[in-house]
Amino acid sequence: MVDRDLSVTSIKKGLLTSFIGQKIIYYSRLTSTMEVAWREARRGAKEGTVVIAGVQTRGRGRLKRTWFSPEGNIALSLVLRPEVNNLPYLIMIASLAVACIIESVTGLETQIKWPNDILIRGKKVAGILIENEIKGDETARAVIGIGINVALRKNWGGKSPGKILSETCSPSSNGYTLNYPAQNPFLGPGVTD
């Protein structure tokens, strides 16, 4: 059984992705995963690098809103380098992925309030923030921030977080396909793993 173990080893255990999460940077406490992910991206971090915080004290959401993530919640940011034409789909992919993972872990039905909120029974439980940097006609980098306001369960059904993620997504010829709600036509190389 995984008991609130959010170590890099625990997160990577069972993770079957080709590049997302192959490099994980974990902080027990920091101000903002987005700030750290941007710093890492500008220093040349590999695509797929994930920054995770046990506690996030000054996270941010859309419209410069504050997103506080106390202990037991999930706060992470992901560094990507998608092609410019894939940028509009990132919010859809991220929202579907978060909704799918919440449903697979909790068994609770989620709703997506576009563009970036995940709801359970009409209450916001997760938010997604995407920022990107474009140079000319190319994306220099994009960072996806994900915050999930839940107390982590003591019993994840004996599965590591990586195993849950891997079961939620299935390999396909062009990357990984979310198993929610049906095959997602927006997934493709360079956007997800």
Q: Is residue 33 pLDDT above 60, yes or no?
A: yes
Model pLDDT for residues 103-127, shown as the tens digit of each residue: 988 888 999 998 889 999 888 889 9
Pairing of strands 111-113, 175-178: unpaired
HSE-up (13 A, CA, CB side) for residue 57: 5
**Rg of the chain's alpha carbons, rounded to an integer?**
15
CB atoms within 10 A of CB 64: 6
Beta pairing partners, 131: 143
- Cα 57 from Cα 144, distance rounded (Å): 18
Angle between helices 161-168 and 87-106 (to 10 degrees): 120
Over the chain, what is the mean pLDDT? Answer: 76
Model pLDDT for residues 44-98, shown as the tens digit of each residue: 999 999 999 988 888 776 667 777 677 778 899 999 999 888 998 999 999 999 9
| CB neighbour burial string for 158-188, b if at least 16 within 10 angstroms, e if fewer | ebbbbbbbbebbeeeeebbbbebeeebeebb
SS (H, E, C) 23-92: CEEEECCECCHHHHHHHHHHCCCCCCCEEEECCEEEEECHHHCEEEECCCCEEEEEEECCCHHHHHHHHH
pTM: 0.74
**In CATH, which of 3.10.129.10, 3.30.930.10, 3.40.50.2000, 3.40.640.10 is domain 8-178?**
3.30.930.10
Using pLDDT thresholds of 50, 70 and 90, give the confidence band for residue 6: low
Q: Is residue 18 pLDDT above 60, yes or no?
A: yes
